[in-house]
Structure 1
Amino acid sequence: MEPLRPWLVPFLLPEHCFDQFFLRFQLLHVPCLKILLSKVLGYGIVAGSVLVKVPQLLKVWGSRSGGGLSLPSVLLELLALGGSVGYGCARSFPFSAWGESLFLLLQTLTLLFLILHFGGRTGRGLALVAVFGAFLGLLVSPLTPLSFVTALQALNLPIIILSRLIQIVTNARQGHTGQLSGVSTGLLFGGALARIFTSLTETGDLLLASTFAASATCNGVLLAQVLLLGGSRDPHPKKE
């Protein structure tokens, strides 16, 4: 079994769990089974996150409109995702514990640009993409103090709640969910639920787990709105 060690340690199993499974044949060792489940689930979430917002992007692209999507909500979500990426890098957490934040950030940044582009503000969209790219580069660099990154992660909880509340209120006021994708919202809801378990198992970080718990709750409300209210019937409303 030793040839398997470089393939499994430390990507899926720590050394002592490899020994438990493959040397002592303790296949029902509960603590190690939790670690293995968390790792597999974590990598699955990271892999799935590559496509999580693709349905949302396709919906906006197909309708040539970001109608119903709150721009402040998207901006706040970007800030929260940037904080998660910076925190994961600064604390040297395994990529399986935070990697989806990076892929979600890239997709959310694309969504921001599309909303502005189809709203006739392409130049502003390009400027925001450039500014946020520079901010993210600085955030993950050694120049940024750990205390600042930790403070930003601590702010993620209210930022995420505020971001989702803005979209929830927007949906309630207009009586529909516009171009909000039910598929993407459902995937974000499920991913956040799974992340509560993986965060506690892999990092033991209550701050990180609390952030995902808040995200799951708010995405659950958005998903309920998609199911109950439905999307906009006219993605290109006529100007009065």
Structure 2
Amino acid sequence: MAPGLLWFCNWSTLLVCAALKLPQISALLAARSARGLSLPSLLLELAGFLVFLRYQCYYEYPLLTYLEYPILIVQDVILLLCVFHFNGNVYQAVPYLTLFVTSWFVLTLQKWIIDLAMNFCTLISAASKFAQLQSLWKTRDSGAVSAVTWSLASYTCATRIVTTLMTTSDLTILIRFVVMLALNLWVTATVLRYRKTAVKAE
């Protein structure tokens, strides 16, 4: 049963992540606005994904336990470009993208750098969720924020808790996924709450 469960969790996570940000991208394009979407949240999430992917590559963990991260990073870059486009200037994304590319190489110059970065990764990723929550609380409007995307993110965190326990048992990674699961569920609930409030107001 264990190999079957591991196979299901790995491949279902990969399939979900292949489409994870598509509802969010679609919602942004349909609204032609980045209203409700937090730019700091997106930047912090991208930083967290980058550190996490680099850490997994550095320690040569099984490929299937992190294969979704390159896909998520590409989708976040597309989202970032959309946000800057709808905010008026897509070229404002260039310094951020340059910083992310540079960080990819700097992170593994020394073992202590990648280890320290991974310890901060959970805080960075948690900060991204709180930035999105703060944006929602401030505007009381979920606008173009996709509840489907946040629900799918919750699912992938839950499956990654299972795969981590069954493969590497890396406590740092496990703590990260538990924290991210709780925060993703919180954001999902907040998006749905303000969506209902907006519908009632209409």
Which residue of the partner structure matches residue 60 of structure 2? 92
CA shift, 1:202, in A, is: 1.2
CA shift, 1:158, in A, is: 1.2
**What whole-Å deviation, never above 9, does each CA across 1:78-97 have from its counterpart, x for those lacking one?**
11000110011001011111
Supply the distance in 2 between the matched residues of 1:139 and 1:48 (Cα, whole angstroms).
30
**TM superposition outliers: structure 1 runs of 4+ over 3 Å:** none
Quick check: 1:108 aligned with 2:73?
no
**What whole-Å deviation, never above 9, does each CA across 1:166-190 have from its counterpart, x for those lacking one?**
1112101211212110111110011
SS in 1 for 2:67: helix
Which residue of the partner structure matches residue 40 of structure 1? 8
Which residue of the partner structure matches residue 129 of structure 2? 164
Task: Identify the structure with bigger relative contact order (alpha carbons < 8 Å, sequence gap 6+).
Answer: 2
CA change 1:212–1:130 in 2 (3 A) is: same
Supply the distance in 1 between the matched residues of 2:106 and 2:158 (Cα, whole angstroms).
27
Which residue of the partner structure matches residue 32 of structure 2? 64
CA shift, 1:126, in A, is: 3.3
* Structure in which a larger fraction of residues adopt helix: 2
Q: Which structure 2 segments of 5+ residues have no match?
A: none
Q: Select which of 44, 60, 85 maps to 1:117.
A: 85
TM-score after normalising by structure 2: 0.90
Which residue of the partner structure matches residue 174 of structure 2? 209
CA change 1:232–1:106 in 2 (3 A) is: farther
Supply the distance in 1 between the matched residues of 2:12 and 2:109 (Cα, whole angstroms).
30
CA root-mean-square deviation: 1.8
Supply the distance in 2 between the matched residues of 1:139 and 1:59 (Cα, whole angstroms).
35
Q: Which amino acid aligns with 1:57?
A: I
CA shift, 1:121, in A, is: 1.8
Q: Which amino acid aligns with 2:55?
A: Y
Q: Contact 2:14/2:68 (CA < 8 Å) preserved in 1? A: yes
Supply the distance in 1 between the matched residues of 2:160 and 2:59 (Cα, whole angstroms).
17
Q: Which amino acid aligns with 2:142?
A: T
CA change 1:209–1:177 in 2 (3 A) is: same
Aligned length: 198
Quick check: 1:177 aligned with 2:128?
no
TM-score after normalising by structure 1: 0.77
Which residue of the partner structure matches residue 197 of structure 1? 162
